[in-house]
A = this chain, B = another copy of it.
Amino acid sequence: MAERINVAVDAMGGDNAPQEVVKGAVEAVCEDKRLKVFLVGQEPAVSEELKKYTYDAERLEIVHASEVIDTGEPPVMAIRTKKDSSIVKCMNMVKEGQCDALVSAGSTGAVLVGGQVIVGRIKGVERPPLAPIIPNIKGVSLLLDCGANVDARPSHLLQFAKIGSIYMESVIGVKNPRVGLVNIGVEEEKGNALTKEAYPLLKNCPEINFVGNVEARDIPMGAADVLVCEAFAGNIVLKMMEGVSSALIAKIKSGMMGSLRSKIGALLVKPALKSTLKDFSTEEYGGAPLLGLNGLVVKTHGSSKAIEIKHSILQCIAFKEQNINEKIKEQIVPGN
């Protein structure tokens, strides 16, 4: 029998908890027999939701957690004081080895803090990057770091490149992934103090396939598979992608309502448009892993529906089976 993969799921996290979280967990468990999911949250609410579904009860278990961390709470304080919250309980289950991974749609700050403070970094990892998968015209790229720690050092960017390459190759399945440094020009000497120092580190690293600087304009064109930057820049890339897409789609939709001719046209193109936009939505690719920790922590959108929760849980299987953390350890601290 194949090894079992145990995933703790924050049943109280996100705008649609517990309904969509429970639904996504049930779907994941039904789809892959290797999974065991622990739904962590307020028992009455979670079991009420679970009653709606049929599933293999041996592989889906409720773990009661009396408290909930709200999105607005200061993360450090919340992690410290709410010991019986669903997020802290999930983190402890990974820390203690009961689970291989956890998935949460809850407070980003609390997940980032809890991941570092409770689950803990792999020895040698300077800063664990939050690495969302973003769509491009040809497929997807991994963007790291998008976490809460800005003002990174060049050595952090080198680690992001190594860790991101491992994840992209082993979990997403892109062979020899192209690593690009997000910058304001393609020439080696372009950029700010950070990118100028990081460039030679990346160029001289034999473990990665560095393709040079990538301008923001070329990110949506798929110029690299692994996009490396510090978190302030990463946040702008990610949120401009979301913002420009939404604004443009809203403009196009209202523009089409301007005349009878275009209204009829809009009806005809609707299915094609819908499927195109689905490809280009940042919410279609499961959650963002927080990498470099002693276990996998996946942060999904606060607005996650069951499908994103399901994808995020399934993502944990490849992570475990591909021994991602062993590979990270080997590259970050060779010979360790």
Contact = CB atoms under 8 A, between A and B. Distances in A.
Interface string A284-325: 000000000000000000000000000000000000000000
B239 A241 contact: no
B237 A240 contact: yes
Contact of A240 (B193, B244, B262): B244
Interface residues of A, number: 58
A173 interface: no
Nearest to A242: B217
Contacts of A266: 265, 269
Q: How many copies altogether?
A: 2
Interface stretch (A48-56, A96-104, A118-126, A245-253): A245-253
A66 B255 CA distance: 48
Interface stretch (A20-28, A83-91, A271-279): A271-279
A227 to B, nearest CB: 11
B151 A280 contact: no
A247 B235 contact: no
Contacts of A249: 248
A221 interface: yes
Interface in A178-210: 182, 184, 191-193
A13 B257 CA distance: 40
Contact of A236 (B231, B237, B252): B237
Given A184-B150, A192-B150, A217 B239 contact: yes
Contacts of A240: 216-217, 219-220, 236-237, 240-241, 244
26 contacts: A136-B247, A151-B192, A184-B232, A216-B236, A216-B238, A217-B240, A217-B243, A218-B243, A220-B243, A220-B247, A221-B246, A236-B237, A237-B240, A240-B241, A241-B244, A244-B244, A248-B248, A252-B273, A255-B273, A255-B276, A256-B272, A256-B276, A259-B272, A261-B272, A262-B271, A265-B268
